[in-house]
Amino acid sequence: MTSSNGAPDGFLAGCMDRLETPATIAMAQRARALKAKGEEVLSLALGEPDFPTPAGVIEAAHRAALDGQTKYPPVEGTPALKAAIIRKFARENGLTYEPAEVMVSNGGKQVIFNAFMATLNPGDEVIVPRPYWVSYPLIISLFGGIPVFVDCPEESGFRLDAAALEAAITPRTKWLVLNFPNNPTGATTTRADLEAIAEVLRRHPRVHVLSDEIYEHLVYDGQAHVSIAQVAPDLKSRVLTLNGVSKAYAMTGWRVGYVGGPAPLIRAMSGIQSSSTSGICSISQAASVAALDGPSGVVEVMRETYDRRRQMVVAALRQIPQLTCAMPLGAFYVYPGIAACIGRTSAGGRLLRTDEDFAIALLEEQHVAVVHGSAFGKGPYLRLSYATSDEILIESCARIATFVAGLT
Ligand SMILES: Cc1ncc(COP(=O)(O)O)c(C=O)c1O
């Protein structure tokens, strides 16, 4: 007997049943398969900056390699990078951390993995505002935790309502995940929202917060990003403030994420990392020091470009009669609603029962890759990443318009 992935029956651990391929990666794989057949596919499916890593960062990596920074680095991060992270938290978030309160991981994703592995017992609940980044529930479930979803409706800008949060808290709640600016909706949060959320958390002293602020630099229309640990300093000892260089500095391939939080939890997370990946690539850590300490103008140029594209894409999508499109205030995603398209048939004869049917038909018929909203827990929507060139964005929106115009 073999299981569905070809392994002998009973060989894979039970938790593997809960480990699905994230829809974002599945859609990118479909797009790659089409490309391999020689088709020209336009991809708005992946959340990856299209900019090159800043030259100064690459030079710092080169220097580090030549200087012999090629040995096993400390598990929790090099002293130089930890110092740069501490400066960054103080400068940009008004947060003071000691060296024992920060650590570096293999991307923000490993921070989440370490945190949940270190704390979740089977049946522990983690509140995840919905729509959510796909990896949260996957990682929570992997460790036997239960994701408890709280809806963030489009009518309220996909923001988290404090009363809805409180209604979801039970004696088993261990964590609340906050992710603003948000993937997939681009929603941001306000100081007032965070103050209301903090008020709820004060009434529930067992609940910790994983605040994923990886898109913090990408906010628009004159907003300023705020961290919950800054808004509510009394809660700082139960907040993990997660960040990384992937999105802000176009460094997805360097695999550096970092976190500030209470020392005992950081120690536990570091213990897990020690037994899994050890320290993070020494060259990438040197590069990340240059990124964090480097000129902020680099980030600002990218932010302005995303802002322009955001407005261009939303304007184009709003021209398409069957779509609704809220203006996102952060990150580099738009999340148009496609309710009016559901139940209709594409020009290629595909019945669109769900937003996933829509995304697959759009890819097959117009060669545009997007991710369906139900993969992020909320359909019928699509998530489009505008971290790609103007030409690709303009052509993709035109193809989406053609696809929708062809529905009967
Ligand atoms: C919301 C969010 N958090 C964390 C990450 C992790 O990024 P990385 O592991 O590259 O630091 C991503 C990447 O897509 C993300 O969208």
Q: Give the model confidence (pLDDT) of 238-260 as tens digits.
A: 999 999 999 999 999 999 999 99
Lowest mean pLDDT, pick from 32-41, 63-72, 143-152, 241-250 = 32-41
pLDDT, position 6: 79
Ligand 1 atom with minimal separation from the 252 CA = 10
Q: Give the model confidence (pLDDT) of 312-345 as tens digits.
A: 999 999 999 999 999 999 999 999 999 999 999 9
Distance 108 CA to ligand 1 centre (A): 5
Distance 27 CA to ligand 1 centre (A): 17
**Mean per-residue pLDDT, 137-154:** 96
Q: Would the pLDDT of 301 be above 90?
A: yes
CATH fold of 56-293, please? Aspartate Aminotransferase; domain 2 (3.40.640)
Pocket lined around ligand 1, Cβ cut-off 6 Å: 47, 107-109, 133, 179, 183, 212, 214, 244, 246, 252, 257
pLDDT, position 300: 93
Which residue intervals of 10-123 are DSSP H helices? 23-36, 55-66, 79-93, 107-119
What is the Cα–Cα distance from 264 to 301, expressed in whole angstroms? 38
- What does residue 176 show for φ and ψ, rounded to 5 degrees? -120, 130
3-state helix, strand, coil in the chain (%, to 5): 45, 15, 40
Q: Whose CA is nearest to atom 14 of ligand 1?
A: 47
CB neighbours of 121 closer than 8 A, spacing ≥ 6? Answer: 144
pLDDT tier at 17 (50, 70, 90 boundaries)? confident
Tell me which of 214, 217, 245, 288 to substitute to probe ligand 1's pocket, judged by most ligand atoms within 8 Å of the beta carbon.
214
- In the chain, where are the structural domains located? 14-52+298-402, 56-293
Domains 14-52+298-402 and 56-293 agree in fold:
no
**Mean per-residue pLDDT, 170-182:** 98
Q: How many residues does the chain have?
A: 408
Distance 407 CA to ligand 1 centre (A): 35
What is the Cα–Cα distance from 386 to 312, expressed in whole angstroms? 10
Distance 379 CA to ligand 1 centre (A): 21
pLDDT tier at 4 (50, 70, 90 boundaries)? low
The proportion of the chain whose per-residue pLDDT surpasses 90, expressed as a percent, equals 89
Q: Which residues, in sequence order, are bridge partners of residue 151?
A: 130
Cβ pair 44, 382 in contact under 8 A? no
Q: Give the model confidence (pLDDT) of 271-280 as tens digits.
A: 999 999 999 9
Tell me which of 113, 135, 179, 383 to substitute to probe ligand 1's pocket, judged by most ligand atoms within 8 Å of the beta carbon.
135
**Mean per-residue pLDDT, 116-125:** 97
What is the Cα–Cα distance from 186 to 334, expressed in whole angstroms? 6
Q: Whose CA is nearest to atom 9 of ligand 1?
A: 107
Q: Give the model confidence (pLDDT) of 337-373 as tens digits.
A: 999 999 999 999 999 999 999 999 999 999 999 999 9
Locus of tokens 């906010």: 219
- If you average pLDDT over every residue of the chain, what do you get? 95
pLDDT tier at 203 (50, 70, 90 boundaries)? very high
CATH fold of 14-52+298-402, please? Aspartate Aminotransferase, domain 1 (3.90.1150)
**Mean per-residue pLDDT, 378-382:** 96
**Mean per-residue pLDDT, 68-76:** 97
pLDDT, position 3: 60
